[in-house]
Amino acid sequence: MSDCIFCKIAEGTIPSKKVYEDEKVLAFHDINPVAPVHVLVIPKKHITSLATMEKEDQGLIGHIFGVIHNLAEELKLQKGYRVVNNCGEEGGQTVAHLHFHLLGGRSFAWPPG
């Protein structure tokens, strides 16, 4: 999608501080972190949100969670971490490209807000 900031990051048009990349997924540091570790994990394929994904994308979501698991180990988040997906405007989604926040390095409260 030509006007999607995450598609542009995945294409390399907009630079990012990458922590992981393969043929399906890109993970990079958030430019406005809310925790000592704040990594965004996105599919390279443009999917607007979990609410709009196709059945064929379910395997990709599983792959993303495998990447998140491996990143949590690499980033030494053994004390715990949070994975967040905001879905739709009322869910707090501000970029219309499916993405997951990997947050760690501090304690988190519940409910989040």
Residue 113 lies in a domain: no
Question: Please, what is the Cα angle at 49 between 65 and 70, to 5 degrees?
Answer: 15
Concerning whether 99 is annotated as a catalytic residue, the answer is yes
Pull the structure tokens for residue 4.
């999607």
Residue 51 lies in a domain: yes
- How far is CA 12 from each of CA 23, 28, 98, rounded to the nearest angstrom? 13, 12, 17
**Catalytic pick among 38, 63, 97, 99:** 99
CATH number at residue 88: 3.30.428.10
Q: Which one-letter DSSP state was computed for residue 6?
A: H
Residue 38 lies in a domain: yes
Residue 83 lies in a domain: yes
Number of domains the chain is built from: 1
pLDDT digits (tens, 9 = 90+) for 39-95: 999 999 999 999 999 999 999 999 999 999 999 999 999 999 999 999 999 999 999
Range of the domain at 35: 5-95
Residue 84 lies in a domain: yes
Residue 81 lies in a domain: yes
Residue 102 lies in a domain: no
Residue 28 lies in a domain: yes
Per-residue pLDDT for 9 more than 60?
yes
Model-level pTM? 0.94
Q: Residues 6 or more apart from 57 whose CB is under 8 A from it?
A: 43, 45, 47
